[in-house]
């Protein structure tokens, strides 16, 4: 199949990239990024793009499925407006272009607690993104809702590292829904869902990825 991956440089996106390149079911992988990827592979194409000005006529929008792992934090983005631009606006721009070119399946990393009516800004934006994606007419839409994502981040602070280590230690004692979701498991869930392309909207909750 021909797969389109957005967010290939992030903690989950890197895992999707590695797994997709190793997966015999994926014949071609297109991963548009803002900066060059360090990875090269015969079936990988990685065009450089600006997400504020995506190339609407690029032929690589026409794929069998899209996996979107674009995302940031309010702290890293610098403001709520910038956070929403990445997690909502960029994701919707990608989805609209892929759908306009006939791509039938879309899978995205959302968040446990995503709700457009949430009083918490982060979960409200995630919920609005999910709701807006549902209006675009994809034959298959997968919403992966992890809790705390486990994986190496360049900007991970010491306090976050300690918290993640404690949760990992307590993992066997916690309900599955409260355990860390390792990034390789999130990536596998997204990849399998995108390739399978099950009709309708599917939610993969954190317990399924723990």
Distance separating alpha carbons of residues 153 and 161, to the nearest angstrom: 10
| Arithmetic mean of pLDDT over the chain | 89
Per-residue pLDDT tens over the stretch 67-88:
999 999 888 999 999 999 999 9
CA distances from 64 to 47, 126, 132, 166, 171 (A): 18, 24, 21, 40, 36
What's the pLDDT score for residue 148?
84
The residues pairing with 202 across neighbouring beta strands, listed in sequence order, are 142
Two tokens at 5?
Answer: 């991956």
With a cut of 80, say whether residue 157 has pLDDT above it.
no
Q: Which of 192, 193, 210, 209 has its CA nearest to residue 201?
A: 193
43 is catalytic: no
Give the active site residue among 122, 168, 176, 188.
122
Residues of the chain by 3-state class (helix, strand, coil), percent to 5: 45, 20, 40
126 is catalytic: yes
Catalytic residue among 76, 90, 124, 126: 126
Q: In this prediction, what percent of the chain has a pLDDT beyond 70?
A: 86
Classify residue 48 by its DSSP letter: B
pTM of the model: 0.87
């Amino acid at each position: 199949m021909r797969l389109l991956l957005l967010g290939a440089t992030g903690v989950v996106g890197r895992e999707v990239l590695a797994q997709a390149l190793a997966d015999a079911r994926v014949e071609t992988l297109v991963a548009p990024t803002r900066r060059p990827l360090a990875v090269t592979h015969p079936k990988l194409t990685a065009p450089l793009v600006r997400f504020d000005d995506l190339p609407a006529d690029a032929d690589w929008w026409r794929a069998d499925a899209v996996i979107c792992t674009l995302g940031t934090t309010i702290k890293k983005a610098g403001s709520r407006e910038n956070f929403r631009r990445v997690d909502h606006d960029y994701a919707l721009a990608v989805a609209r272009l892929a759908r306009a070119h006939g791509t039938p399946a879309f899978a995205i990393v959302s968040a446990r607690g995503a709700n457009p009516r949430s009083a918490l800004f982060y979960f409200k934006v995630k919920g609005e993104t999910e709701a807006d994606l549902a209006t675009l007419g994809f034959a298959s839409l997968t919403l992966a809702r992890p809790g705390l994502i486990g994986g190496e981040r360049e900007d991970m602070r010491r306090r976050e590292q300690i918290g993640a280590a404690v949760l990992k230690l307590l993992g066997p004692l916690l309900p599955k829904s409260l355990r860390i979701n390792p990034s390789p498991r999130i990536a596998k869930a997204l990849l399998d869902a995108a390739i399978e392309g099950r009709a309708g909207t599917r939610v993969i909750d954190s317990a399924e990825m723990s």
